[in-house]
Chains A and B, each alone.
Chain A
Amino acid sequence: MRFQRTKRATIAALALSAGLGIALPAIGASTASAASKVTLFMLPKFTGIPPFTQADQGAATQSMQYGYTLKYGGPTTASATDQVNFINDAVAAGDKGIFISADNPAAVTPALQRAEAHGVKVVSFDSDVLPAGRTVYIQGTSAVSIAMTELNMLGSQIGYSGSFVILSAQATDTNQVQWNSLVKADLSLPKYKNMKLVTIVNPPDDSAASATKYMQSILQEYPTIKGVIAPTTVAVAAAAQVLQQQKLCSKYVLTGLGDPSQMKTYVTSGCVKQFALWNFSTEGTVAMCAMHAVLTGTVSGKTGQSFTCGSRGKFVVAAGGVVTAGPAEVFSKANLQDFTF
């Protein structure tokens, strides 16, 4: 009896795992047919959000020019351990290059170094890893461009005169701190001399609920301001909703860094005239050009090296192996429908 049950169990287990396994050859076939081609792997922080899909499309289009096959995949949630799984799998599958947007810069770096020791080239984009773990880092746009664009979007709508508040993210967010301090520095320029930053508000977390609450208290506390700059996709959308609900869209100018799909409603209704973000598709394209330059030995990460990227022209590697993909992209009613992310 015991023997029989054991045998049944084994057969059943075989049946179950065969069921799981049948799908393997079917899906694997597409990669096998391109065995002669160089394959590259793009690893976002996590899948299922539009910006990374856009970066993938930008990179994939450019990869056709070079004859590379680009694969795309990643964890479903933010997890450094899962990202390391994908790094390991890409190397074991024989991919020659990895694009990565790091969930945790330091934690994925040892795995990337192992990949590099195995002959795989690494280009980081969107969110950098430690310099030891990649050859170059492609940033969507520069902090300088972001700060200047924010001030121009607000200034052009308030006649470059009046006070404003920055509704930021957590005080520990390094990007936010850098952008906001550049805004402060830019205010000393003659063009912005009549604009006055009242305060920078840092909600305790990055939730829409907190941003909503802090936007409401800003309007109560500083009713005489002309506008608000919200340099986070969460805060700018939450703030727009507050203005729209309280019917204050005509009284205050809101601008900042936003996600086009989230902001569509408010731009269509006219509540928000302009907001900005970098172009993820361009970021992906430039990352692919950089990868090609790294694979062909043109770029090794040294400051001052350069590579070309089709019609986009020449890109130069700045200090620290950083390459800037382009200026910030300003969105308004006129161009919003061109962007699907």
Chain B
Amino acid sequence: MASARHLLGRWEVGLVAITIVIVVIAQLDGGGLISSYNLQTTSLNNVVLLCLAFGAAPVIMTGDIDISIVGTLSLVGAFTASLWAHDGVGIWVAAILGLLLATICGVVNGLLVVLLDLPSLAVTLGTMGAYTGVSFLILKGSAIIEFPSSLVTLGSSNVTGTPVPIGVVVLVALFAVLTYVVHGTQFGRSLFAIGGNRRAALFAGIAVNQVRITAFAISGLFAGLAAIFYLGDYDTAQAGIASDQLLPAITAVILGGVSAYGGTGTIPGVAIAGVLLALLQAALGLHGFSGEGQTIAVGILLVFAVGGGSLIRSGTFRRLWPVKASRSSSANAVIDAASTGGG
């Protein structure tokens, strides 16, 4: 499973191809997309989103979902900022305590889902509200701004002497670690086994409960890391902040080839999907597309890619349209492309 072919499967190749086409078209028509300023600011503004997406991916691979990540982000942001501003705790100590809290938030989700045998959607819908609610109790509608320069440097400055933001470097490191954990360890294999067939995984001797809880803990931890990035980049902590990042993050995971039913997907796929979505947004924005236009474009991309793949996997397409497959027709070709996401 950890073979090179698995990591760079066909789905990812398709995503890279789409990305390249977007870049080429945008560059031919006026450029600006691949300018140093645009790449810097676009990548910075997507660090939080990708961090959330990376964290959510393992949970989705096990067939669960965690939508409380933005609640955790809000809570950890408020908690860390408040420790620093109101209790005189050093910012980095506060950040580490924040990450601890984030992991606890994830474990709480996991325990509720596993021990009470509740649907993860219902549980994390509840905890999303609860975590966000506590962040409102902590900050009471006020904002904390002007964090110490060390945090702002992490969030928004470049590596000395290069045009590369520090946040992006840290994110790449987190990506590498997570890729190893998911695709190079027994724990990672367990994620896919549980997502594929939970009962079979149990009979195969996998500690299903521990693995599922750990996946939620990872999700929480990454939401906490996203919160620290948020404080550093936007230099602001406020309750309910970044609540709009939930759907884009889940979009990146699903477009990245992680099946919403669990059992398949790769972390590199999620990363490429994140880059694709960021570049698509930037290209459309640069060319004067409205917010509505951008939302529609991302929606179309997702429906074509994921909807098509799902149709072909379930065989619905062939039942609905039992014509002898004319392989040259573009409609079939698109569906085929999407179908390769089965992993």
How many Å from the CB of B153 to the closest CB on chain A? 12
How many Å from the CB of B259 to the closest CB on chain A? 17
**When the two chains form their complex, are residues B244 and A81 in contact, meaning their CB atoms are under 8 A apart?**
yes
Among residues 170 to 213 in chain A, which have CB atoms less than 8 Å away from a CB atom of chain B? Answer: 172
Stretch at the interface among A10-18, A222-230, A314-322: A10-18
**When the two chains form their complex, are residues A93 and B336 in contact, meaning their CB atoms are under 8 A apart?**
no
**When the two chains form their complex, are residues B282 and A92 in contact, meaning their CB atoms are under 8 A apart?**
yes
Known pairs A82-B244, A84-B45; A20 contacts B287 (CB<8 A): no
A94 at the B interface (CB under 8 A): yes
Chain A: CB-nearest residue to B248: A81
How many Å from the CB of B272 to the closest CB on chain A? 12
Per-position 1/0 for B1-32, Cβ under 8 A of A = 00000000011011101100110011011101
Whole-angstrom distance between the alpha carbons of A314 and B327 in the complex? 70
Whole-angstrom distance between the alpha carbons of A21 and B23 in the complex? 10
**When the two chains form their complex, are residues A12 and B287 in contact, meaning their CB atoms are under 8 A apart?**
no
Chain A: CB-nearest residue to B297: A20
Whole-angstrom distance between the alpha carbons of A25 and B286 in the complex? 11
B311 at the A interface (CB under 8 A): no
Per-position 1/0 for B317-343, Cβ under 8 A of A = 000000000010010011011101000
How many Å from the CB of A272 to the closest CB on chain B? 31
Stretch at the interface among A70-78, A259-267, A295-303: A70-78
B78 at the A interface (CB under 8 A): no
Chain A: CB-nearest residue to B25: A21
**When the two chains form their complex, are residues B21 and A14 in contact, meaning their CB atoms are under 8 A apart?**
yes
**When the two chains form their complex, are residues A85 and B285 in contact, meaning their CB atoms are under 8 A apart?**
yes
Q: Chain B: how many interface residues by the 8 Å CB criterion?
A: 66
Known pairs A16-B18, A81-B242, A88-B282; A9 contacts B336 (CB<8 A): yes
**Which residues of B lie under 8 Å from residue A6 when comparing CB positions?**
10, 13, 340
B67 at the A interface (CB under 8 A): no
Among residues 93 to 151 in chain A, which have CB atoms less than 8 Å away from a CB atom of chain B? Answer: 93-94, 104-111, 114, 118, 130
**When the two chains form their complex, are residues B291 and A74 in contact, meaning their CB atoms are under 8 A apart?**
yes
How many Å from the CB of A158 to the closest CB on chain B? 34
Known pairs A104-B236, A104-B238; A17 contacts B17 (CB<8 A): yes
| A interface, size bucket | 35 or more
**When the two chains form their complex, are residues A92 and B288 in contact, meaning their CB atoms are under 8 A apart?**
no
Chain A: CB-nearest residue to B28: A25
**When the two chains form their complex, are residues B333 and A89 in contact, meaning their CB atoms are under 8 A apart?**
no
Known pairs A13-B337, A81-B242, A106-B236; A71 contacts B37 (CB<8 A): no
Per-position 1/0 for A1-41, Cβ under 8 A of B = 00001101111111111101100110110111000000000
**When the two chains form their complex, are residues A28 and B29 in contact, meaning their CB atoms are under 8 A apart?**
yes
Known pairs A17-B22, A46-B291; A80 contacts B234 (CB<8 A): yes
Per-position 1/0 for B276-320, Cβ under 8 A of A = 000011111111111110010100110011000000000000000
Whole-angstrom distance between the alpha carbons of A330 and B333 in the complex? 61
Chain A: CB-nearest residue to B49: A81
Whole-angstrom distance between the alpha carbons of A28 and B292 in the complex? 16
**Which residues of A lie under 8 Å from residue B32 when comparing CB positions?**
92-94
Whole-angstrom distance between the alpha carbons of A316 and B159 in the complex? 42
Per-position 1/0 for B173-194, Cβ under 8 A of A = 0000000000000000000000
A325 at the B interface (CB under 8 A): no
**Which residues of A lie under 8 Å from residue B286 when comparing CB positions?**
89, 92-93
Contacting A8 at CB < 8 Å: which of B30, B242, B285, B337? B337
A241 at the B interface (CB under 8 A): no
Whole-angstrom distance between the alpha carbons of A91 and B41 in the complex? 10
Contacting A13 at CB < 8 Å: which of B14, B30, B38, B49? B14
Whole-angstrom distance between the alpha carbons of A88 and B293 in the complex? 17
B59 at the A interface (CB under 8 A): no
**When the two chains form their complex, are residues B300 and A20 in contact, meaning their CB atoms are under 8 A apart?**
yes
Among residues 99 to 141 in chain B, which have CB atoms less than 8 Å away from a CB atom of chain A? Answer: 140-141
Known pairs A15-B333, A28-B287; A107 contacts B238 (CB<8 A): yes
**When the two chains form their complex, are residues B143 and A9 in contact, meaning their CB atoms are under 8 A apart?**
no
**Which residues of A lie under 8 Å from residue B282 when comparing CB positions?**
85, 88-89, 92
How many Å from the CB of A130 to the closest CB on chain B? 7
How many Å from the CB of A93 to the closest CB on chain B? 5
**When the two chains form their complex, are residues A18 and B21 in contact, meaning their CB atoms are under 8 A apart?**
yes
Chain B: CB-nearest residue to A18: B21
**When the two chains form their complex, are residues B340 and A109 in contact, meaning their CB atoms are under 8 A apart?**
no
In this complex, the member of A27, A106, A109 whose beta carbon has the largest number of chain B beta carbons within 10 angstroms is A106
**When the two chains form their complex, are residues A13 and B281 in contact, meaning their CB atoms are under 8 A apart?**
no
Among residues 149 to 179 in chain B, which have CB atoms less than 8 Å away from a CB atom of chain A? Answer: 152, 156
In this complex, the member of A32, A47, A93, A114 whose beta carbon has the largest number of chain B beta carbons within 10 angstroms is A93
Sampled A-B contacts (7; CB under 8 Å): A13-B13, A13-B337, A14-B17, A21-B25, A24-B29, A85-B281, A106-B236
Q: Which residues of B contact A (CB under 8 A)?
A: 10-11, 13-15, 17-18, 21-22, 25-26, 28-30, 32-33, 35, 37-38, 41-42, 45, 48-49, 140-141, 143, 145, 152, 156, 233-236, 238, 241-242, 244-245, 280-292, 295, 297, 300-301, 304-305, 327, 330, 333-334, 336-338, 340
> Would you list the 10 A-B pairs with minimal beta carbon distance, nearest first?
A89-B285, A12-B337, A92-B38, A21-B25, A88-B41, A106-B236, A17-B21, A79-B244, A12-B333, A28-B287
